[in-house]
Structure 1
Amino acid sequence: MADALILPIGLVTAGLVAARLGVLTIAAWQQAAYRREQDQLTLEVMRERIAEAKKRRNENSLAWNGYRKFVVHRKVVEAEGVCSFYLVAHDHKSLPVYKPGQYLTFRLSIPGRDKPVIRCYSLSDCPRSDHYRVSIKRVGSPPDAPSAPPGLVSNYFHEQVTEGDILDVQAPRGHFFLETEHERPAVLIAGGVGVTPLLSMVNSIVAARSQREVFFFYGVRNGREHAFREVLNRVVAQHPNIRLVVAYSRPNQEDEKQEGRDYHHVGRVDVQLIKSYLQATNYQFYLCGPPTMMETLNKQLTRWGVAEQDIHSEAFGPATVSKAFTPPQAVAGGVSDQASTTTITFAKSGKTCVWKNAAGNLLDLAEANGVRIDSGCRAGNCGTCVVAVKSGQIQYVTEHGAELEEGTCLTCIAAPQGNVVLDA
């Protein structure tokens, strides 16, 4: 009887042991498979990082310091007063990849000027290894001052620069750009020739085959000034994730026949127009256009509830979206006006000037008092007006795109915080 019981118990025990071994074997196999999967993922991540590092190293090796010679390969009229210039490297070497929205800095020897003139112009296409493209609008005399001279450099480009000419160009730079690998919806808002960096952004999204949702609001005066019409219409026709809204502020008689096809709205691009297309504010906003347009839109978007860090704007000309400016504070308690006066000393020139907020920036103050400081873009981008700050503190009245050494400032967009001594 006992022997009869021992056999089944032994079989059960053996079965349990076998089952346990089976479970352990399966667990070990699963664990090994998991480790292999993790090792494979780690290997893939390492490969991606190595590839990215090589890409960055290659791009850095293609970048250059100072100025490089470029040949004007093509000159193309895009609209009334707007020309594109296709630039190829004179040494025929490949070009570094830039971020869509960045700009080039040009050094130009213009007849009648005793020194080179510096200007910055946005790149207007997606990055390419064989050429760069900038699109430049001819700047006329101000409407309220018709006797004033027109834009020096823009007119030089339109009238004097021809195919085959050689230009001095700095490498692409700038902090106003769109990261194409991100998927957060974007709103691009352009006024006039401010379309150029935003066109670079939308073309880069297309080139990356991204499905990122994009709303592109583009305001111009009329059809004659509507640059890149065919290009943008083709983009939206082929990419349903990109929506284009064009506004004409002053359409002419010919334009009235094209409403609904070439443009969708009569008036300016403002927050009411934008809100009629967007259901929420959770977008990244990129603005480039005339100063008044950007100032207005920046305030309107903020009041609508768009987070400040989600609004990106480009300095397009000597005036742009300004940060809240805090003037130097006078000491309270009955101190005399003389004691609270802020002075700017130009050490090399031996001049001391009284700062008034109406001066706007240190460069304008210097020029108004006969102190010569080299300048270029006058928008905080090219770095030409940089000077050393010997003592005192400054603040910037707008964001800048130049790389600066410690202890220096861009005088074209700088204002003092108390007494300042400049090495100028």
Structure 2
Amino acid sequence: MLTKTEIDLIKGTVPILREHGLLLTKHFYQRMFRLNPELKNLFNMGNQKNETQQTALANSVLAYAENIENPGVLLPVLQHIGEKHTSLMITAEQYSIVGENLLASIQEVLGEGASDELIAAWGKAYTILADIMINLEKSIYIEKSSLSGSWSGWRKFVIKKKVQESEEITSFYLYPEDGKDVSLHKPGQYLSIRVFVKELGIFQPRQYSISSAPGNKYYRISVKKEVGQGVAKEDGIISNYLHNSLGEGDIVEATPPAGEFVLNLENKGPVVLISGGIGQTPFMSMLEYLAGESERREVKWIHGCRSANVHAFKNEVSDLNKKFDWLEHIVFYDDCSGSEENVKKGRVELSEVKETILLPDADYYICGPKLFLEKAIKDLAALGVDREHVFFEEFGPQTLNLN
């Protein structure tokens, strides 16, 4: 346990972390990759380039310092991180490397402001946090290994089918190369896949939501081809590689399904899905699962995207909408004639569909870009939805702060 003096030392760094946290984490990653270049195989280097990974770590370090007296309040966030780490096969030994570089970075960035006592306090605090994460991730690894069809490490999968779902989204049907079974995923979970990028000379992992129901001999992932927009955003390395360079018969590697953004199977009340763009992919898994269940739950799905041309699974969901009276699907398009059935023009405005989505005992699931999530969460709060019934998934490093 930390002493009161150590707690006070760490809390004393909170103002510095608020103002200069990003500077610290940028220095940390540069230092760690310089001294341990093999770790580049575990990190999304695109997120390093656009600084979302550094921002996420800065937020995490600050949150830990702010809650150093009661780190238990961070358990939901730590669970999210633990799922991500196990999907990348992070080991206990790698926490030592991170700790060594983080403490050195604090010392190097703060300079004379980093007393021996402060570094010792942060070292002790990091050890406590690392032990929590190592034990948490150990339990996740054990839980996954107990599932029928599961595996350990990176397993080879064959792309047996590649289907273009819209102008920018393509589905890949991944079958295990060894022909054995795959473990059941929970509706909403993702796969970590990796490919070797010759230009970088390293493996690059990415997480993609599983867009098919559990119980198949394969996993389906549906990937948006990320196209850059000027200097502000470059092409997505892996999404473009999957779209342009890989075809049926090619191989990717994957770890077992991961993620805690999953359909609550215990609550039999209504389900409200709210998605923006590629955020629809985990909801396809949820919807297909619910369609196969004998016990029906009322489902309302509000989806927003730019136009029908980029709307993946449009026909499949429309068919289910016509087939099942328990499902209602409403779409918002930025660009549309306004004459399409169940289609509204403009960005998603939950106030326009409040009569549809405000249901007793409903669970609300939101997935999409950061700004979409922020707006949807605020809009639900304004409509009186209990925060305990709202669940969300931010693709990429978690930078959304709801405090």
Q: Contact (CA 8 Å) 1:99, 1:179: kept in 2 or not?
A: no
1:378 matched residue in structure 2:
none
CA–CA separation in structure 2 for the residues paired with 1:113 and 1:195: 31
The equivalent residue for 2:340 is 260
Deviation, structure 1 residue 280: 4.2
Question: Which whole-Å CA distance do the structure 2 matches of 1:323 and 1:147 have between them?
Answer: 26
Task: Identify if the C-alpha distance between structure 1 residues 260 and 210 changes in structure 2 by more than 3 Å, giving closer, same or farther.
Answer: farther
Q: Which amino acid aligns with 2:220?
A: R
CA distance in 1, matches of 2:285, 2:233: 33
Which has the greater radius of gyration?
A: 1
Aligned to 2:273: 188
The answer to whether the 8 Å contact 2:148/2:182 transfers is no
| Higher mean C-alpha displacement, 171-180 vs 315-324 | 315-324
Structure number having the greater helix percentage? 2
Is 1:161–2:246 an aligned residue pair? yes
The residue type paired with residue 286 of structure 1 is Y
**Shift in CA distance, 211/301, structure 1 to aligned 2, threshold 3 Å:** same
Report deviation, 1:236: 1.1
Distance, in Å, in 2 between the alignment partners of 1:228 and 1:141 is 24
For the residue of structure 2 that corresponds to 1:202, the secondary structure is helix
User: What's the CA shift for 1:260?
Assistant: 3.1
Residues 103-112 or 271-280, more deviating? 271-280
- Structure 1 residue ranges, 4+ long, deviating more than 6 angstroms after superposition: 56-59
Q: Deviations over 1:63-88 (max 9, x none)?
A: 11211110000000000110000000
Provide the aligned length of Structure 1 versus Structure 2: 261
Distance in 2 separating the partners of 1:280 and 1:216: 13
Structure 1 residue 317 and structure 2 residue 396: aligned? yes
Matched, 1:60 2:139: no
Structure 1 unaligned spans of 5+: 1-55, 325-424
Encode CA deviations 1:73-128: one digit per residue, 9 max, x unaligned: 00000001100000001110111111100000012101211211111000001113
Could you tell me how far apart the structure 2 residues matched to 1:85 and 1:168 are? 13
TM-score, with length taken from structure 2 = 0.61
Alignment match, 1:270: 349
* 2:282 paired residue number: 197
Runs of 5+ in structure 2 lacking a partner? 1-142
Note the C-alpha offset of 1:303: 2.6
Residue by residue, what CA displacement relative to the aligned partner does 1:198-244 show, whole Å, maximum 9, x if unpaired?
11101100011331001010111111111101100111111100111
Determine the C-alpha separation between the residues in 2 that align with 1:116 and 1:313. Answer: 29
Match of 1:127 among 208, 214, 224: 214
- Give the Å deviation of 1:284: 0.4
SS in 2 for 1:140: coil
Structure showing greater relative contact order (alpha-carbon pairs closer than 8 Å, 6 or more residues apart): 2
CA distance in 2, matches of 1:266, 1:128: 37
1:88 to 175, 198, 207: 175
Please provide the CA RMSD for this pair.
2.0
Q: TM-score, normalised by structure 1?
A: 0.58
Distance verdict in 2 for CA 1:180–1:309, change over 3 Å: same
Instruction: String of CA shifts for 1:145-171, please: whole Å, max 9, x gaps.
Output: 357531111111111111111111000
Change (3 A) 1:237 1:196: same
Measured after TM superposition, the shift of residue 279 of structure 1 is 4.3
Matched residue SS, 1:72: strand
Q: Percent identity?
A: 33
